[in-house]
Structure 1
């Protein structure tokens, strides 16, 4: 029953179950949850009495600044439940319509005579037109689809995702645009989206910022704890195969004036803070953790100047966790112009890195005949803060149209 209210009771205090479930999920899965528990503990909250967990729930909820009402959007619910099983893939949509606060009567028609592809495409059209953004594209990855005739720009909700969207890594659950960590299209206006009547084609505008020429090896990353020797060995093996590619195909000082080693360690964690994905990485924290990890494992792989300018920290497990999270179902690439990035596992040489109008992140597009297909979102170092669209107002650069199928 969508309107039923469950509560978490602790002694004499009661907290809505939605608060409690999100708290337990955060503490059990995400490092930011544990980090905030530590902050609360330093502030005087303890677990020596039964009121403390309730206080913790309330404070973490305030820190996130979210409400259950704001999160109950169709896209949020689709993402949340996409890993669940059901007998009819159409029920991945139909079963949640009653708990989506952004739906009005008639927005999505419940009709089992429609094909799965049509229902998922209708959902995509609704999200694009109602949301006036391209966030849905971050849910599309070319790692296989179960539904026949489904366009690449429509997410297949019948299969679970084997990645975490980086496009909205800090704000997938909310519409608070100020929380976005990336702003690839800068302050450009909302996207101009055109969807064909047959729901097969999506027209968007964007800029090509590079063509992928070099690819790093991909390994399966099951996302287990990074504290095990096996996980750390996998991460170091990835580094040992990717760093030589960077040294062979990029300059010591990039076109943006940044040291190659700095661009590299930021790229493989998508330039995010190891404890708070809504913040950028820093040389004093993540950079120092990276260097400590490298110098302990194999200092001979570096040149002396690579190690200059870094402080020291006592542990690097947070950096490894960020590295592991960022590379799950992704692989390292280098463009023809020497830009480093992380893209979908199935990216190929010749694929294009594009910044689409109104998007927070770049996307990898592949030319097929007279159209393009979405391979997935990507991190491309040096174009995540609107650099590709500078000069747009002066006419120095211009968007071109892409037809996605």
Structure 2
């Protein structure tokens, strides 16, 4: 039921004040809005605002949208409350939808209006309530913006194909089939009409992708905002609205999951008679982003499947499309409502000016590490793989730092900044075991929360480095030369290692020394699409032929530099023949796996240690840096020694120790990371 606290300020046109609609207890109450109907889109906006206890609120709709910061003040908005142009447009579309479909209007919850954004104390309490606000809503409307760039065609395709998928193949959103669309397809593919339907669906979205209407749809700002993930996931009834088209999320998730099956399952592609159609390059990019979003939603709907905060942070920020927040502390607070371990971690939103962003991020990292250490339920120091210094993979020694970079340096080196520069390098780490049996983090007490004390052992000191991995420059004019320069530097370090007496002992009982030439550049991890649903694994001997094929391709192009430049110019100009050739080549590279594996090492540098160890380390590594292993993580790290302390430079691969070869014999040390 609604609270008696309400306001008529909008009726008189007087300046709105939140004092007229106070939250007597912002930890248990919310504001709601009644949006009044109108006869046309351009009629003045008029609404009524009041308060209600979250536990007794009437049925309401929560809005998930992007607020572009430019206020509307053109006389149309009857609410004497600053509105952004995007929210003004959204409210007018919602009102028009209600009129066209003769829907009974429900109260709205909209963060920009319902929370006093100038009151940090109220905002802290309301953010704590965000999980309840969205999960208690009758419905959540995801507002993507007005119709544009063929969005109506995309929404219609999702609606038609999504509905047909549910009718012909089954409900993939049920707990029984959650995240198992592949199994649903296998069970029903022999049914009449299923193969024809799936082939049609594939061709429809292939066409939408090629004409870029789907690409532009999925590139809308809503998909880049951190808060929208939580807003999208928590309510059981969620719909996408774009212009005047509305599609239930389950229709879209059906198409997204089916597309993922097409990418991963070569046998399914052959069944649908699409084996020669470029798949990954045409479909995967946008659908991967959507698939991750629906995965978060699937986990959030069931208590026993909820993700940890650490997993959410890594999935949202690491190696992904940039996710934006206005306030950097919302990188954490915007995901708390989805985290199954939020209560255990004890992290509470704090928007007070006395608390810095660095303190929030440090508190979060330490809380996650200490929770693991105390419970031993999740073992490891995995979160420090994304440390604020280590994630700046492209930074070179001596490179001038911008003022923003200097501010980021105020974070301890082991604390993640969680931004677009954070990458996930070692994706198949479950098969590594550099720490041997010492899988539980062994923390050492320190005098400051900004210092992390961990126990581990020293491996060796870096004495030489090669070129950075440049796979991200694959399509640049000098791409082939950059790629070959990287592999040439690996060859140089390998030849030096072969001359090292200690290295002969390292490789005496392991894989042949020469295999390091193709194994080290990809960190001994193989990633292949189209060969099953578990593509991550350690390398094997067949990777040598893939390596040689990969290098030969770019040796050929490097010898014909002018041809390569002409080819790239045609590709960038949109030449159909050049585009098709590139699509087919990328599909081949992605299916074979060496390119993907190398891509995960982008901006890493090969290194050689004093005793002849070869590996891949952070791009800003220097001679004199040390390779170490900490108890509680299965991969090594590169650290830079200081005055009894170390800077964590980042995660590393070190050939010859990844299966615990040194774990039982190395002398233990305490490392203090600052």
TM-score (norm. length: structure 2): 0.47
Alignment match, 1:215? 465
What secondary structure is seen at the aligned counterpart in 2 of 1:342? strand
Secondary structure in structure 2 of the residue aligned to 1:281 = coil
CA contact (8 A) 1:222 1:328 kept: yes
Aligned to 2:313: 78
The aligned residue for residue 191 of structure 1 is: 441
Tell me what 1:339 maps to.
613
How far does the alpha carbon of each residue in 1:341-399 deviate from its partner, in whole angstroms, 9 at most, with x for none? 0000001101111111111100011101120110000001111111111xx3xxx4332
Q: Secondary structure at the match of 2:384?
A: helix
- Helix, strand or coil: the match of 2:496? helix
Alignment correspondent of 2:519: 266
Structure exhibiting the larger radius of gyration computed from Cα positions: 2
Equivalent position of 2:670 in the other structure: 401
Per-residue CA distance 1:48-72 (angstroms, 9 max, x = gap): xxxxxxxxx9xx99xx9x9625462
Distance 1:84 1:274, change over 3 A: closer
**1:15-64 CA-partner distances (Å, limit 9, x unpaired):** 34589659849968xxxx6662214445x5678xxxxxxxxx9xx99xx9
Question: Does the aligned pair in 2 maintain the 1:184–1:361 contact within 8 Å?
Answer: yes
In structure 2, do the counterparts of structure 1 residues 148 and 209 end up closer, same or farther at CA, with 3 Å as the change threshold? closer
**Structure 1 residue aligned with 2:585:** none
Q: 1:360 aligns with which of 613, 634, 639?
A: 634
- Where do residues 52-201 of structure 1 align in structure 2 (5 Å cutoff)? 68-69=299-300, 70=305, 72-82=307-317, 83-104=322-343, 107-113=346-352, 114-132=355-373, 133-140=380-387, 141=390, 143=392, 146-147=407-408, 149-157=410-418, 159-166=419-426, 169-170=427-428, 180-194=430-444, 196=446, 198-201=448-451
Distance 1:26 1:211 in 2: 48
Structure 2: unaligned runs, 5 residues or longer: 1-61, 63-133, 142-157, 174-248, 275-287, 374-379, 393-404, 529-533, 557-587
Output the aligned Cα RMSD: 3.7
**Equivalent in 265, 287, 300 of residue 544 of structure 2:** 287
What is the CA–CA distance in structure 2 between the aligned matches of 1:377 and 1:78, rounded to whole Å? 17
Alpha carbons of structure 1 residues 101 and 340: separation in structure 2 relative to 1, 3 Å: same
For 2:484, the equivalent position in structure 1 comes to: 236
Aligned twin of 1:205: 455
Whole-Å separation in 1 of the counterparts to 2:515 and 2:486: 17
Give, in angstroms, the shift of residue 278 of structure 1: 2.7
Q: C-alpha distance in 1, partners of 2:668/2:255? A: 43
Paired residues, number: 353
CA drift of 1:331 comes to: 0.6
Tell me how far 1:76 sits from its aligned partner.
2.1
Q: How far is 1:181 from its partner?
A: 2.1
Which structure has more relative contact order (CA 8 Å, sep 6+)? It is 1
- Is the Cα–Cα contact under 8 Å of residues 435 and 630 in structure 2 kept in the other structure? yes
The residue number in structure 1 matching 2:163 is 10
Is the CA contact (8 Å cut-off) linking 1:81 and 1:92 kept in structure 2? no
CA contact (8 A) 2:471 2:483 kept: no
Residues 230-249 of structure 1: CA distance to partner in whole angstroms, max 9, x if unpaired? 64443223112331232134
3-state SS of the aligned residue for 1:210?
A: strand
- Name stretches of at least 5 consecutive residues in structure 1 with no aligned partner: 48-56, 172-179, 300-314
CA distance in 2 between partners of 1:362 and 1:343 (Å)? 9
Secondary structure, counterpart of 2:662 in structure 1: helix
Cα-to-partner distance string for 1:95-137 (whole Å, 9 max, x where unaligned): 2211111211771021112111111011011110223310001
Q: Tell me, what secondary structure is at the counterpart of 1:370?
A: coil
1:274–1:319 contact (8 Å) kept in structure 2: yes
